[in-house]
Amino acid sequence: EAQVTQNPRYLITVTGKKLTVTCSQNMNHEYMSWYRQDPGLGLRQIYYSMNVEVTDKGDVPEGYKVSRKEKRNFPLILESPSPNQTSLYFCASSSGPNTEAFFGQGTRLTVV
Amino acid sequence: AQSVTQLGSHVSVSEGALVLLRCNYSSSVPPYLFWYVQYPNQGLQLLLKYTSAATLVKGINGFEAEFKKSETSFHLTKPSAHMSDAAEYFCAVKAGNMLTFGGGTRLMVKP
């Protein structure tokens, strides 16, 4: 089954404790992205990647890092999480720049 | 730069009534437009997409949307609402590598 898998689905952490949210896709897609969803703001793009070792900033990259060492994986790293990063995070992948994106189930992160 | 505006963060309709969810966009290049639906505690699922082939686009679950370049709009409609349509709907525009979403519209369906 074609899918985008995120882990964990739920995470509660404390301010400053580094964390990683994993994302993996099995569709051999070149494009992968991370979004955060906040009420009234829709989804905002954090980072995206066009291929292995190629990443770029989206609209809200501050406080986040990504890496793309393998085509299927695109982890999101928060080196020093802060409460304003409490949000619902989605990973997505697509086969090309203007094709539909397939989304993971989301990761609800709470930073206290 | 591109942006998406969804008019109405909440829309309530009666079961069987017309559903109309509004979306206006701005884009400096010819856009690709999408509507996604999000059910509670789930990710986003594609409803339909406009990729310049036809201005009236039919999607899943009886939804359709019409691209109107002169109005920079891509409104989503369904002739008859069903209780299972209750969800949050997002309009999105993609140009190049950037996918930009509107703020979302929560659709409520009354029995």
CB contact under 8 A, A43 and B43: no
Q: Is pLDDT at B28 greater than 80 in this prediction?
A: no
B103 touches A: beta carbon within 8 Å: yes
B40 touches A: beta carbon within 8 Å: no
pLDDT value at position B82?
A: 96
CB contact under 8 A, B44 and A103: yes
Which two structure tokens, joined as six digits, stand for A31?
A: 């494009």
Q: What's at A9, amino acid-wise?
A: R
pLDDT value at position A100?
A: 86
Q: Is pLDDT at B29 greater than 80 in this prediction?
A: no
User: Between residues 12 and 41 of chain A, which touch chain B (CB distance below 8 Å)?
Assistant: 31, 33, 35, 40-41
What is the band of B98 on the pLDDT scale with cuts at 50, 70, 90?
confident
Taking CA–CA distances from B42, the nearest residue in chain A reads A105
B101 touches A: beta carbon within 8 Å: yes
pLDDT value at position A35?
A: 96
Contacts of A61 (CB under 8 A, 6+ apart): A46, A47
